[in-house]
Amino acid sequence: MAKTKLRAIDIILLVVCIVLMFFSYQNIRKRKRINEVKDLPYKNVSLENVQDGIYTAKTETSFLNLKLQVKVENHKIEDIKVLERSEIRNFDEKVLLDKMIAENKAFVEVVKGQELASLVYITCLDSALAQGDSSLQKIEDDTELSANEN
């Protein structure tokens, strides 16, 4: 009888340890992803400065690789196409992309429950728009000139 009780306690402790290890792993993985998203480049492009054209950008993280193409006409986002995307579960990208087009900006409210994936999409679109941003190109040109003068 005592051995049976001891085995039951051992099994319970083993299960508790496994559950704690699983949640610890999930927590560490989530923190790593958060840090990874924090390090993505955000340019906060104003569409007023973006010239008409089609721009493409790629953003890679450990949990999502994404390549977007955006079409801009008259300082408005006309279309966003997903050219490449790694598999991500339960993410409705159409809602986010439609919101970006409707609000005419990259920085929109993230999809609840998929905040990190949403931020990857936002960063990728922002990077694509930066290619057509005349004000950013002017800053880069001025920086290059300053470096060449020295």
What does pTM read for this prediction?
0.76
Dihedral sign of CA atoms 70, 71, 77, 82 in order: negative
Q: Which of 13-17, 56-60, 92-96 has the highest mean pLDDT?
A: 56-60
- Kindly report, residue by residue over 89-109, the tens digit of the pLDDT: 778 899 999 999 999 999 999
Q: In the structure encoding, which two tokens stand for residue 87, read together?
A: 């598999």
The maximal CA–CA distance of the chain, rounded, in angstroms, is 87
Do residues 61 and 36 touch, judged by C-beta distance below 8 A? yes
> CA 88: distance to chain centroid?
12
Closest CA to 69 of 58, 61, 60: 58
Do residues 100 and 80 touch, judged by C-beta distance below 8 A? yes
Mean pLDDT score of the chain: 85
pLDDT at 138: 53
Count other Cβ atoms within 10 Å, centred on residue 61. Answer: 19
Task: Phi first, then psi: give them for residue 82, nearest 5 degrees.
Answer: -90, 115
The beta strand positions in the chain, using DSSP E, are 53-60, 65-73, 76-85
